[in-house]
C-alpha cells in the first residue's frame, strides 16, 4: 500500500472539496487556485452528502473487479451546494434511477487487494425514495 494512499485517506472516507476564501467558490475535487478569481487562499471543505441526480448512464460492461456490479449505474449528481460530482449509484432499483431523483452519499466497499486482503472503502450514492405521509 502506498504512502500517498494513507496521507490522503480522509479524502476517500469523506467527500472533501475546496472553497476559495476570497470569493466563496466551491468545487470538487479540491483545487489549489480558484478558477473564478485566481486566488490561492483555499481551504478544504467537506461537501454535502445530499443532492439531485442530473444525469446518469447504465453500463453493461465493467472494469476488472467490478463484474458482479452489472449493470453499473453512474450518476452526475448536483450536491446541495451546487457542486457537481460523478459517482456510482448503488442500493437502488434501476426503475428508481431517474433525473431529478434525490440522492444521498453512502459509505461502501470499492474494492479489495487480492494479495494483502486490504479492503478499500469510499463514497457512492443511493436514491432516496420519497416517503408518503
Domain layout of the chain by residue ranges: 1-47, 48-133
0.85 surpassed by pTM: no
Residues 6+ apart with CB under 8 A from 122: 12, 13, 107, 108, 110
* Residue 108: per-residue pLDDT: 82
Average pLDDT along the chain, 133 residues, taken 10 residues at a time: 53 81 95 95 95 94 76 94 95 94 89 74 88 54
* Residue 122: per-residue pLDDT: 81
CA distance 108 to 44: 23
User: What is the radius of gyration, based on Cα positions, of the chain?
Assistant: 17
Pick the CATH number of 48-133 from 2.50.20, 2.60.40, 2.40.50, 3.10.28: 2.40.50
How many CB atoms sit inside 10 A of residue 20's CB? Answer: 22
* Residue 36: per-residue pLDDT: 95
* Residue 132: per-residue pLDDT: 57
* Residue 117: per-residue pLDDT: 74
* Residue 9: per-residue pLDDT: 55
Amino acid at each position: 500500500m502506498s504512502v500517498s494512499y494513507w496521507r490522503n485517506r480522509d479524502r476517500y472516507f469523506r467527500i472533501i472539496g475546496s472553497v476559495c476564501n476570497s470569493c466563496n467558490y466551491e468545487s470538487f475535487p479540491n483545487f489549489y487556485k480558484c478558477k473564478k478569481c485566481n486566488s490561492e487562499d483555499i481551504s478544504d471543505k467537506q461537501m454535502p452528502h445530499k443532492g439531485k441526480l442530473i444525469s446518469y448512464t447504465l453500463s453493461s460492461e465493467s472494469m476488472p473487479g467490478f463484474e458482479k456490479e452489472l449493470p453499473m449505474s453512474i450518476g452526475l449528481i448536483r450536491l446541495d451546494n451546487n457542486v457537481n460530482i460523478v459517482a456510482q449509484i448503488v442500493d437502488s432499483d434501476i426503475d428508481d434511477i431517474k433525473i431529478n431523483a434525490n440522492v444521498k452519499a453512502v459509505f461502501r466497499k470499492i474494492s479489495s487487494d487480492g494479495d494483502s486482503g486490504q479492503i478499500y472503502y469510499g463514497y457512492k450514492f443511493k436514491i432516496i425514495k420519497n416517503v408518503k405521509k
